[in-house]
Structure 1
Amino acid sequence: MLVVDDNTNAADAMAAYLSSENIDCRVAYGGAEAIADAVDNKPHVILMDISMPECNGFQASLTIRRDERTSHIAILAHTALDEAEVRRHLADSEFDGYCQKGQSPEKLLALMETFLV
């Protein structure tokens, strides 16, 4: 599992929570770092923030999706953005799922578990 968020506190907190749920995870603090990690480590799932400077989650996800070395990785959008905007990108196959920030951890875990088999 790769947690991607430019807010280091949010990324580290999410990684700590997932670790407490026995999910092995790493952290990337931006889109470019997420792309490099995806190529190097090929996580099963990426939990991708969207609003990040330089390389946002849409750009990073599209790059990961178009690379044959990483196209198989499940990418879940995890953002506070308007749901309609993110769902449009779901339809474009950039993301495999979506969970809005602030929703219950159980809902996020349930979504993630469908991809962590």
Structure 2
Amino acid sequence: MSWIQNERARAWTKRINYVDGTSPRVLVVDDNQSAAEALVTYLGFEDIESRPAYGGAEAIAAARSWLPDVIVMDISMPYCSGIEASRAMRADVTTQGIAIIAFTALDEEEVRRHLVDHEFDGYCQKGQPPTTLLALIWTFLLRDK
């Protein structure tokens, strides 16, 4: 496990999901469809199976049906924010073990001010090189070789 710590990307928990020889599954959640699709494309080049969800409610449904290993979650979305979606997933036995990364333009302290419990396992500020987010995703994964 590579532990990432810097001012713009940080693991908040030590949650690990085991990948059984297949590609890890990452759900990318963002109401900006172009941004979500660009990140899905990038992750595909990194041998990560990923799918987009274009809002919090869609993310909850996709997480329940697809069961990703990691969710990259935008915070500021209309109708159902990333925080609300993450709370719903933590309350559901089907999705409570999925690692969730807050991926937002908000700074880390602003995100933490809105949290009640352990809604997120990590934080990455948007605008970082994609390799920073990729390294953070891998902190929550252990591949069975």
Q: Secondary structure at the match of 2:141?
A: coil
| 1:25 is aligned to 2:50 | yes
Select the residue among 27, 47, 66 that pairs with 1:2: 27
CA change 1:91–1:115 in 2 (3 A) is farther
User: What are the Cα deviations for residues 55-104 of structure 1, in whole angstroms up to 9, with x where unaligned?
Assistant: 01000000001111110000000000122022345672000000000012
Select the residue among 18, 27, 41 that pairs with 2:66: 41
Paired position in structure 1 for 2:87 = 62
Does structure 1 conserve the Cα–Cα contact (< 8 Å) formed by 2:44 and 2:50? yes
- Could you tell me which amino acid in structure 1 is paired with residue 128 of structure 2? Q
**More helix per residue: 1 or 2?**
1
CA change 1:74–1:90 in 2 (3 A) is farther
TM-score (norm 1): 0.94
TM-score (norm 2): 0.77
Identity %: 63
CA radius of gyration, larger in: 2
Does structure 1 conserve the Cα–Cα contact (< 8 Å) formed by 2:83 and 2:115? no
Could you say which structure has the greater relative contact order, defined with CA pairs below 8 angstroms and 6 or more residues apart?
A: 2
- Could you tell me which amino acid in structure 1 is paired with residue 48 of structure 2? I
- Could you tell me which amino acid in structure 2 is paired with residue 14 of structure 1? L
CA shift, 1:4, in A, is: 0.2
**Unmatched tracts of structure 1, length 5 or more:** none
RMSD of aligned Cα (Å): 1.3
| 1:107 is aligned to 2:128 | no
**Unmatched tracts of structure 2, length 5 or more:** 1-25
**More strand per residue: 1 or 2?**
2
